[in-house]
Amino acid sequence: MLDYVDLEADLGEEERMIRDTARRFVDEQVRPEIGEHYEAGTFPTELILEMGELGFYAPNLDGYGLANVSETAYGLLMQELEAGDSGLRSMASVQGALVMYPIYAFGSEAQKEKWLPKLGTGEAVGCFGLTEPEHGSNPSGMETRARKEGDSYVLDGSKTWITNSPISDVAVVWARETTAEGSPVRGFLVETDRDGVTTNEIHEKLSLRASITGEIGLQGVEIPAENRLPEADGMKAPLSCLTQARYGIAWGAVGAARDCFETAREYAIDREQFGGPIARFQLQQEKLAEMATEITTSQLLAYRLAELKERGDLRPQQVSMAKRNNVRMARDQARIAREVLGGNGITTDYPPMRHMQNMETVYTYEGTHDIHTLILGHDLTGIPAFE
Ligand code: FAD
């Protein structure tokens, strides 16, 4: 497995164990079936509980039955899951970084005790509703509204492109509260079996097919006032969740690219044309050398983020740089790996084209490549260029 500058040498025992557990899980439980799931447009839902048992949901959080592992261990976990499929890593990212993290960071003690243990085991599934049909890259324009009525809130609006909404028990919904002073952004826990909630699935995807994506319709949905996340105040709350998830994506994209590289290397050595393996051609060796170099430099960036995150010094802009770079890298390298495989490369029998298609979503969600460019541009010049 590609680790060209021997990053493994600096891993602790627990980090190796978590990586190996995830790698084995992917090899045994995911690889044999994932191509069929991709073609069918289904997620292997039978793995949700097993992923919980293995501690794949928010293991970097502490308490409530969660493991409190290092940020490197968490990153390695995301890397191995995405080597299987971006849909699998998306499942763990949404559940851990976008549902459990906001409850952990902004929730009341009662909310934490009610939800974190069962989300951690996978007995409950959650989703994160920020994007709306008219507000994607600019979520602060959101139109979903919450108004306080006695001991309840009433929510109206719609969210779209929501990973796992059709199979979720609870949605973290971001909405503007209508108050006399203004309309601050707030977070709410909305159980999906409440009257007025609909979660239609989006079926037409040509990317991230092994992942369930849907809408959240909210029509006069009444929830108890204690379902509001009390510490979530303003857009910085959902944005801080996105920073957690983007951190995992920066690692995960390296896993997808590594899987493409390993497939291409093995194929190039096995496949014979003109009387010998295609790996003997300089043209193919250049592709493998370039892939290995790109993957290694992206890996280094991910490892550095882990160090900064571990000591509490990680800035969101640094995460933007890594998400932007590593996903673009994976998208480009998946395409090159696909080329090395010739005609076989366009089938679901081999992973590169599946990863390549997945990367179109990963390039777009959690802040598009363009938006991360603007975040970096703002950070580097002090001048915002969003509008
Ligand atoms: P738009 O914002 O309309 O952007 C269209 C294009 O314009 C992009 O290329 C963009 O980069 C560009 N653009 C926009 N603004 C600017 C600007 N200022 N300068 C230059 N270019 C600009 N959201 C959730 O809330 N929860 C989820 O679980 C979730 N899961 C998803 C799963 C999938 C499979 C997909 C595809 C999306 C998911 N999303 C989710 C939504 C995702 O975050 C949005 O698609 C993304 O933020 C982009 O929004 P948009 O699609 O509306 O594109």
Q: Judge if 160 and 284 occupy the same domain.
A: no
Each residue's pLDDT tens digit, 141-190: 999 999 999 999 999 999 999 999 999 999 999 999 999 999 999 999 99
CA dihedral 119, 125, 126, 131 (to 10 degrees): 150
H-assigned helices in the chain: 13-25, 31-40, 47-53, 71-84, 86-93, 101-106, 109-121, 236-270, 282-310, 316-340, 352-364, 369-381
Q: What is the pLDDT of residue 260?
A: 98
Pocket test for ligand 1, best of 135, 365, 375, 387 (most atoms within 8 A of CB): 365
CA angle 36, 161, 119 (to 5 degrees): 75
Looking at residue 276, which CATH number applies to its domain? 1.20.140.10
Q: Are residues 323 and 250 in the same domain?
A: yes
Last residue of a domain, one of 90, 125, 160: 125
Please say if 339 is a catalytic residue: no
Active-site option among 109, 215, 366, 387: 366
Spacing, Cα 365 to ligand 1 middle (Å): 6
Q: Which atom of ligand 1 is nearest to the CA of 164?
A: 28
Per the domain annotation, does 386 fall within a domain?
no
With CA atoms as reference, report the closest residue to 159 among 172, 177, 178.
172
Q: What is the DSSP code (8-state) at residue 149?
A: E
- Of the candidates 205, 207, 163, the one whose C-alpha atom is nearest the C-alpha of residue 353 is 207
Give the number of the atom of ligand 1 that is nearest the alpha carbon of residue 366: 43
Domain identity same for 82 and 184: no
Give percent of the chain with pLDDT exceeding 70. Answer: 100
Per-residue pLDDT tens digits for 75-111: 999 999 999 999 999 999 999 999 999 999 999 999 9
Look over the chain and give the mean of its residue pLDDT values, rounded to a whole number.
98
Single out the residue in 174, 198, 227 at which a domain terminates: 227
Residue 89 lies in a domain: yes
2 in a domain, yes or no?
no
**How close is the Cα of 129 to the center of ligand 1, in Å?**
13
Tens of pLDDT along 303-333? 999 999 999 999 999 999 999 999 999 999 9
Integer Cα distance of 260 and 361 in angstroms: 17
Nearest CA, atom 42, ligand 1? 365
When pLDDT is cut at 50, 70 and 90, the band that residue 335 belongs to is: very high
Q: pTM of the predicted model, to two decimals? A: 0.98
Count: domains in the chain: 3
Same domain flag for 141 and 151: yes
Residue type for position 333: Q
Atom of ligand 1 nearest to the CA of 387: 18
CA 84 to ligand 1 center in whole angstroms:
24
Answer yes or no: do 20 and 120 share one domain. Answer: yes
Instruction: Give the domain CATH number at 206.
Output: 2.40.110.10
CATH number at residue 90: 1.10.540.10
Q: What are phi and psi of 321, to 5 degrees?
A: -60, -45
CA of 28 to the centre of ligand 1 (A): 34
**Does residue 277 sit in the same domain as residue 191?**
no
Q: Which two tokens stand for residue 117?
A: 């243990």
Percent of the chain with pLDDT over 90: 100
CB 278 within 8 A of CB 272: yes
C-alpha 180 to ligand 1 mean position (Å)? 31
Q: Which of 38, 93, 131 to mutate to test the pocket of ligand 1 (most atoms within 8 A of CB)?
A: 131
**Residue 365 belongs to domain spanning:** 236-381
Ligand 1 interacting residues, C-beta cut-off 6 A: 94, 127-131, 136-137, 161-163, 208, 213, 361, 364-366, 368, 370-371, 374, 386
**Per-residue confidence (pLDDT) for residue 178, from 0 to 100:** 93
240 and 370, same domain (yes or no): yes
pLDDT band at 24 (very low <50, low <70, confident <90, very high): very high
Q: What would the pLDDT profile of 239-258 be if each residue is shown by its tens digit?
A: 999 999 999 999 999 999 99
- Nearest-CA residue for ligand 1 atom 50 is 136
Of 104, 125, 146, the domain-final residue: 125
Tokens 């777009």 — which residue?
364
Query: Which residues contact residue 180 at a Cβ distance below 8 angstroms, ignoring those fewer than 6 apart?
Result: none
* Domain assignment of residue 387, yes or no: no
Tens digits of per-residue pLDDT, 49-85? 999 999 999 999 999 999 999 999 999 999 999 999 9
